[in-house]
Amino acid sequence: MKVTVLGSSSALPTSQRYPSAHVLNAHERLFLVDCGEGTQMQLRKCNIKIGRINNIFISHLHGDHVFGLYGLLSTFNLMGRTSTIRLHAPANYDLMLRSHLSDFDINLNYQIEFVPLKNGGQSPVYEDKHVSVTSFPLKHRVEAFGFVFREKPADRNIIKEKIEEFSIPSCMIPGIKKGRDFVTSDGKVIKNKDITVPPPEPLSYAYCSDTMYFAGLSSFVKNVDLLYHEATFDASMTKLARKVMHSTTLDAAKTALKANAKALMIGHFSARYDNVTTLVEEARTIFPATIPAIDGNTYNIRELSARNRLHD
């Protein structure tokens, strides 16, 4: 699992920070989360294969999370895309998007499968062999959603030398990987744990933007390996943060701590901060394993998580 930050600014972009967008690579599936203006250019700069994105998640309908979508959908078309794209977004966006595309006379050669996000609580939104995605409510000025991406536990890995040692037929291997013991032709039971090793721990990544602090949030992102959480403001601006329903550094850190996240990435920085070092330092007073989201950087979630487990 690797996440690439395409934009770390809040609504007002700077020369260094683009509006919100992350790409998660989980088992070579690319999930685009939010799509601020310039997302397609950032994808190109990061050498990410645009055509391999099949799922887009839109957290809420504020322009700095959406305005890159029209260009990206047009670009898919110009690149000859024919495969369906699944768009997970607040329900009322379906009509808005279609009317906007028709205004601009954009006739797509592929389908958009619109998947409305569901109010109320945690809700499964995507699942395949390796990954599942759940949405959950945030608290913002408009209806907003967070997402957790979780790897499914992988099969155990068989130890190659044991195949030869016990003459294990290949038809038995899938079962052994699932945890079965092996019985030799002379009836001897070989314990599964003696011929396999456990797979790496499944990883998880949560995306929370935009939201004010609320106690229940940590339960939605419990134990994630990497929590991305907005921190638009420093702690001295708590009053403004509450008013506009955003978070401070300390809000993000508190949620990470309560959730027992392994690492915290803060972003969605207000344009007032040229340098975000002080924001990171502030969050670290509560949650030491905090890093800043930096445009164009790719983060290895296993490494971030392992680094912090060492500190446990």
Here the tokens at position 22 are: 């992350």
CA 207 to each of CA 81, 196, 211, 234, 260: distance values in angstroms, whole numbers, following the listed order: 27, 34, 11, 20, 15
Q: Nearer Cβ to a second copy, position 38 or 267?
A: 38
14 makes contact with a second copy (CB under 8 A)? yes
Q: Nearer Cβ to a second copy, position 96 or 197?
A: 96
Residues 8, 134: Cα–Cα separation, whole Å: 23
CB of 288 to a second copy, least distance (A): 33
Residues 6+ apart with CB under 8 A from 61: 89, 90, 92, 93, 96, 142, 143
Q: Nearer Cβ to a second copy, position 80 or 187?
A: 80
With b for 16 or more beta-carbon neighbours within 10 A and e for fewer, the 257-294 pattern comes to ebbebbbbbbbbbbeebeebeebbebbeebbebbbbbe
With b for 16 or more beta-carbon neighbours within 10 A and e for fewer, the 107-134 pattern comes to eeeeebebbebbeeeeeebbeeeebbbb
| Distance from chain centroid for Cα 188 | 46
Instruction: Please select the residue that binds a second copy; options are 83, 99, 170, 185, rule is CB under 8 A.
Output: 99
19 makes contact with a second copy (CB under 8 A)? yes
For residue 274, indicate whether it is catalytic.
no
Q: Nearer Cβ to a second copy, position 105 or 161?
A: 105
Which residue in 225, 231, 242 sits closest to 309, CA to CA? 225
Q: Please identify, among the stretches 8-16, 167-175, 195-203, 274-282, the one whose residues bind a second copy according to the rule CB under 8 A.
A: 8-16
103 makes contact with a second copy (CB under 8 A)? yes
Mask for 170-199, x = binds a second copy (CB under 8 A): ------------------------------
Q: In sequence order, what are the beta bridge partners of 226?
A: 205, 263
Q: Nearer Cβ to a second copy, position 67 or 166?
A: 67
* Residue given tokens 């999930």 in the structure block: 31
Instruction: Please select the residue that binds a second copy; options are 2, 29, 100, 307, rule is CB under 8 A.
Output: 100
44 makes contact with a second copy (CB under 8 A)? yes
The interface with a second copy within residues 64-93 (CB under 8 A) comprises: 64, 66-68, 70-71, 74-75, 78-79
Which of the residues 64, 225, 234, 295 is marked catalytic? 64
107 makes contact with a second copy (CB under 8 A)? no
61 makes contact with a second copy (CB under 8 A)? yes
41 makes contact with a second copy (CB under 8 A)? yes
Residues 172, 123: Cα–Cα separation, whole Å: 37
Residues 286, 244: Cα–Cα separation, whole Å: 23
Residues lying near a second copy in the complex (CB under 8 A): 11-15, 18-19, 37-38, 40-41, 44-45, 61-64, 66-68, 70-71, 74-75, 78-79, 96, 99-100, 103-106, 142
Q: Which residues are catalytic?
A: 64
